[in-house]
Amino acid sequence: MNHGVGDRVEKILRGDERSASRLIRDIEDDISGTRELIRALWYHAGQARIIGVTGSPGAGKSTAVGGLIGAYIKTGQSIGVLCVDPSSPFSGGALLGDRLRLQQHAGTPGVFIRSFATRGVTGGLSRAVGDAITILDAMGKDIILLESAGAGQQDVNIAHHVHTVLLILVPGMGDAIQVIKAGIMEIADIFIVNKAHRQGASDVIRDLTELPFVSRANDIPWTPLVLSLPDCADRDAFAVAIDGVAAAVDDHYRDMVENGRFGARLRRRAYYELSDAINWLVYGSLMEKLSRTGEIDAMVSRIVERDDDPYSMADTIIREQGRSVSFNVSAGRSAGGCNQNNDDGHQKNNGQRDEEIDGAQ
C-alpha cells in the first residue's frame, strides 16, 4: 500500500479535492495504510485557523457556518468545512443535512465542504475529524470550520480540535441556572445567541453577560464574548451580524496570541490527536485482535462465572502483550483544560485502567 502514498500526498498538497475527499473516506472506513498519508501530511499542516461551531439541534449551527463562509470568502481566504450529523443507532445509516444550508457555496472556488456521520462515536463528532482537519490544513485551507452534531451539555469534544469555540444558543431553553451549569457552557470562547428576534433573547444575553463568566479552559482569563444573530430571513441584517462574529473570532485569536495562550491551544489539540492515535493504534488494535481470536469471549465467560475479575484480566492481557500501557494518565494532567476523555468511553476505561496498572507495577 506504500505504493502511491507520495503521489496521493502530492495531490492533496496541491489542493486536489477528490484526493482529499477520498482520503477522508479511507480514514473513516479505516482502510489499511491510510495513516501513512496522515503521517506525511502532518508536517505540511499547521497554518490554518480552526474554528468550532457547536450548539443544540436546530440552534442554527449550519446557518451560522454558511454565513461565516460568506464572510471569509469576502476576505479572499480559502475555507474548509467539516460538518457532523448523527448516525442512526438502529440502522447505522445517517441523513447528513448540514449541506442544505451551505449549498449556496458549493460552487465557490476555494470552499471545500465535507459531511460526516458520527458512526457510533459519542461527543458530537466523528472519529475522522481530527485527521480530516490535518488533511484540509495541508491542502492549504486558511480557515477550517468544524461543525458538531447537535450537542448536549457534555459534548465538549469539539474543543479538543479547534482554536476557537463558538457556542450557539437560542432563547427559551431554560433559566439562568442553565447558563452556569458545567460542561458545554465552559468551552465557549464566544457565545452566539441566535434567533435573537424571538422572545426571551434579551434574557439569555443578560444571563450570559451579567455573570462572571471567565473561561477556565486555559487557566488564563478570557471573558467569552456574547454576540447575537437576528432572524436569518432578514438577510442583510444577518450578514452584518455574521461579519461581527468573524471579527470576534479574530479578536479571540489576537487575544490568544498576544497573551501567550495560543500555544496552550496548540498543545491541547496535539494532546488529543496523540491520545486518539494511541487509543486507535494500541487499544483499537488490541481489542480487534482479542475479538478476532475469540479470546475476548473466553475472558467474558470467566468474568461472568466469577473465575476472574475485569481488572486482573486486563492486567494479564497487558502483561501478555508485553507493553506498558501507561500512556494516558500523566500526560493528560498537563494538557490543560478540558480533560474530559473523549470518543467512545473506551478511552475513559483505559485511563482508569492505567492507574490501576501503574499502581500494580
Q: Find cell 458545554 and name the residue.
A: 184
Beta carbon of residue 261, minimum distance to other proteins (angstroms, whole number): 33
95 binds other proteins (CB under 8 A): yes
Give me the 29-48 binding string for other proteins, x by CB under 8 A, dash otherwise: x-x-x---------------
Q: How far is the CB of 97 from other proteins (least distance, A)?
A: 5
Nearer to other proteins, 115 or 328 (CB): 115
Residue 164 zone, left/alpha/beta (φ > 0; ψ -120 to 50; rest): beta
Using the minimum distance from each CB to other proteins, give the nearer residue, 111 or 187.
111
The one segment of 23-31, 187-195, 218-226, 263-271 that binds other proteins by CB under 8 A:
23-31
In the list 35, 44, 119, 348, the residue contacting other proteins (rule: CB under 8 A) is: 119
96 binds other proteins (CB under 8 A): yes
Q: Cell for 123?
A: 461527543
Taking contact as CB under 8 A, which single stretch among the options 93-101, 178-186, 306-314, 334-342 is the one that binds other proteins? 93-101
Query: Which amino acid is located at 341 in the chain?
Result: N
Output 106 or 233, the one with its CB closest to other proteins.
Answer: 106
Q: How far is the CB of 60 from other proteins (least distance, A)?
A: 17
DSSP H or E stretch at residue 222: none
* Residue 113 in the binding site for other proteins (CB under 8 A): yes
The rounded distance, in Å, linking the Cα atoms of 331 and 328 is: 6
Span 134-173, contacts to other proteins by CB under 8 A: none
Distance in angstroms (rounded) separating the CA atoms of residues 262 and 253: 8
Q: In whole angstroms, how close is the CB of 6 to other proteins at the nearest point?
A: 11
Region binding other proteins by CB under 8 A among candidate stretches 28-36, 55-63, 162-170, 298-306:
28-36
Closest to other proteins by CB, 22 or 198? 22
Q: How far is CA 74 from CA 79, 110, 228, 243, 339, in A?
A: 11, 12, 21, 10, 37
Q: Is 88 in the site for other proteins (CB under 8 A)?
A: yes
- Provide the 3-class DSSP secondary structure of residue 110: coil
Nearer to other proteins, 115 or 342 (CB): 115
Q: What are the CA-CA distances from residue 291 to residues 22, 115, 173, 297, 300 (Å)? A: 29, 30, 44, 8, 11
4 part of the interface to other proteins, by CB under 8 A: yes
Do the Cβ atoms of 36 and 5 come closer than 8 Å? yes
Query: Which residues make Cβ contacts (< 8 Å) with residue 94, sequence separation at least 6?
Result: 85, 86, 87, 88, 117, 118
114 binds other proteins (CB under 8 A): yes
Question: CA 190 → CA 38, 144, 162, 280, 302, distances in Å?
Answer: 31, 17, 13, 32, 51
**Residues engaged in binding other proteins (CB under 8 A):** 1, 3-4, 8, 11, 17-19, 21-22, 24-26, 28-29, 31, 33, 87-88, 90-97, 99-100, 103, 106-107, 112-115, 117, 119
